[in-house]
């Protein structure tokens, strides 16, 4: 019998069993899957990145070099020279460099299977709809859009085109988060009734940061960092949405910087069974964790729970350890599994829409001074 608080080091077979629950088997390299006689398609899918900012340059692009069944097949950018540099680095033809006005030309291009929207939030709907019209599958980075109405328009465009829609929720493919979600779904520690967490970082005093422009960002840290906390709370409740929200904006400590969006916001999510989640999103401090407690124990995603750094998970039974993976590679492999192997889509448009409905309720409550607002998810 294990002593209390002894680290739980999973055997390889246990690890495979846990990850398989949510398609997490796909986190493993191909040799590991082959060893367990899991037969998957080996076809490579071509991805186009729309927007070549930091996330594409430092995370998505490099991840595609490591992803077994996806490859970078082209880019959409407002800077032709940058696009040509990407073509040389990633080995795709320069004819597969498009600008935002010529995205329609991707239609019929046999190199391309997926289009990943990585532009600022306020442009997601425009670009995701344009991508769907090409007949290619669509990945839309989180948050899905600035409003629920825009989410509905994206979903409708993908349905009309007969293409799959994925939201860029990478943590649904990260093993510690997969395990945390299992606790919520299966009641390992009882029904989670008391939850708290936060996420954020300190934004520099840079007035040119697109995150501070509500037309591009849709809001402040809630749209950027807060979506992760919303996701964690819904994971803990078996992917059920809350029924009501109360929220308040935090104090504005740097009024010259935060002239149009909030610097921080606190909110409480109330679920149908009475469970409550106390949450924070901030641009004033480096915070990133989430804890959920039931009548049989608790589980906590520790700092930095929602960043790109390796995640850690602690429970009332002790620490839980899984091998750390490149989160973007795991995300891409999970999406490939849906398209090539028929694995269910773990991050559909309906999930992105649900989260935006929660965001809208939080803003409505905060702007009213903290009144309770029903969530129309």
Task: Convert the pLDDT of each residue in 122-172 to its tens digit.
Answer: 999 999 999 999 999 999 999 999 999 999 999 999 999 999 999 999 999
Determine which helix (DSSP H) or strand (DSSP E) holds 197, and give its type and residue range: strand 194-200
pTM for the full predicted model? 0.90
pLDDT-derived band of residue 43, with 50, 70 and 90 as boundaries? confident
- Which burial class, exposed, middle or buried, applies to 133 when counting CB atoms under 10 A from its CB (0-12, 13-18, 19+)? middle
The structure tokens listed for 177 are: 């988060």
Q: What percent of the chain is predicted at pLDDT more than 90?
A: 85
pLDDT at 105 over 70: yes
Q: Which residues contact 87 (CB under 8 A, 6 or more apart)?
A: 74, 75, 93, 94, 96, 97
Q: How many Å apart are CA 211 and CA 226, to the nearest integer?
A: 13
DSSP state of 14: H
Return the number of other C-beta atoms located less than 10 Å from residue 372's C-beta. 14
Q: Report the pLDDT value the prediction gives residue 39, as an integer from 0 to 100.
A: 46
Asked whether 140 and 124 are in contact (CB, 8 A), the reply is: yes
Whether omega for the bond prior to residue 304 falls within 30 degrees of 0, making it cis, is yes
Q: Measure Cα distances from 41 to 110, 133, 340 in Å.
A: 18, 27, 6
Nearest by Cα to 115 from 68, 163, 148: 163
Return the number of other C-beta atoms located less than 10 Å from residue 29's C-beta. 13
The rounded Cα 263 to chain-centroid distance in angstroms is 22
Residue 319, classed as helix, strand or coil, is strand
Mean of pLDDT over the chain: 91
**Model pLDDT for residues 76-98, shown as the tens digit of each residue:** 999 999 999 999 999 999 999 99
Q: How many Å apart are CA 245 and CA 180, to the nearest integer?
A: 23
Q: Report the pLDDT value the prediction gives residue 40, as an integer from 0 to 100.
A: 60
Q: How many Å apart are CA 134 and CA 161, to the nearest integer?
A: 8
**Model pLDDT for residues 360-375, shown as the tens digit of each residue:** 999 999 999 999 999 9
Q: Report the pLDDT value the prediction gives residue 262, as an integer from 0 to 100.
A: 98
Residue with tokens 């973007």: 328
Rg over CA atoms, the chain: 21
DSSP strands (E only) in 228-271: 244-249, 264-270
Q: Report the pLDDT value the prediction gives residue 194, as an integer from 0 to 100.
A: 98
């Amino acid at each position: 019998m294990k002593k209390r608080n002894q680290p739980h080091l999973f055997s390889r077979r246990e690890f495979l069993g846990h990850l398989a629950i949510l398609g997490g088997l796909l986190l493993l390299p191909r040799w590991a899957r082959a060893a367990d006689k899991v037969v998957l398609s080996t076809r490579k899918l071509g991805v186009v990145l729309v927007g070549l900012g930091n996330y594409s340059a430092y995370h998505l692009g490099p991840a595609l070099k490591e992803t077994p069944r996806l490859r970078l097949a082209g880019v959409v950018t407002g800077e032709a020279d940058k696009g040509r540099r990407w073509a040389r680095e990633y080995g795709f033809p320069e004819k597969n460099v498009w600008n935002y006005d010529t995205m329609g030309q991707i239609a019929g291009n046999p190199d391309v299977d997926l289009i990943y929207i990585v532009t600022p939030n306020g442009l997601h709907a425009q670009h995701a709809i344009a991508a769907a019209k090409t007949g290619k599958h669509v990945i839309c980075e989180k948050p899905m859009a600035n409003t629920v109405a825009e989410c509905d328009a994206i979903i409708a465009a993908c349905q009309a085109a007969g293409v799959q829609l994925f939201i860029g929720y990478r943590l649904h493919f990260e093993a510690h988060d997969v395990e945390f979600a299992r606790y919520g779904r299966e009641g390992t520690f009882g029904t989670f009734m008391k939850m708290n967490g936060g996420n954020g970082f300190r934004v520099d005093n840079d007035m040119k940061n697109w995150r501070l422009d509500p037309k591009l960002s849709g809001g402040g840290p809630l749209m950027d960092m807060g979506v992760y906390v919303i996701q964690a709370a819904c994971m803990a409740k078996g992917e059920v949405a809350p029924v009501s929200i109360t929220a308040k904006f935090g104090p504005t400590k740097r009024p010259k910087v935060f002239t149009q969006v909030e610097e921080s916001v606190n909110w409480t999510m109330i679920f149908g069974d009475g469970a409550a989640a106390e949450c924070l999103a901030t641009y004033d401090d480096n915070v990133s964790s989430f804890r959920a407690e039931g009548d049989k124990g608790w589980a906590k995603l520790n700092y930095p729970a929602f960043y790109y750094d390796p995640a850690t998970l602690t429970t009332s039974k002790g620490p839980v350890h899984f091998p750390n993976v490149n989160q973007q590679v795991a995300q891409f492999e999970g999406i490939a599994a849906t398209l090539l192997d028929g694995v269910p889509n773990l991050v559909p448009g309906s999930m992105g829409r649900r989260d935006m409905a929660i965001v809208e309720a939080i803003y409505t409550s905060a702007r009213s001074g903290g009144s309770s607002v029903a969530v129309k998810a």
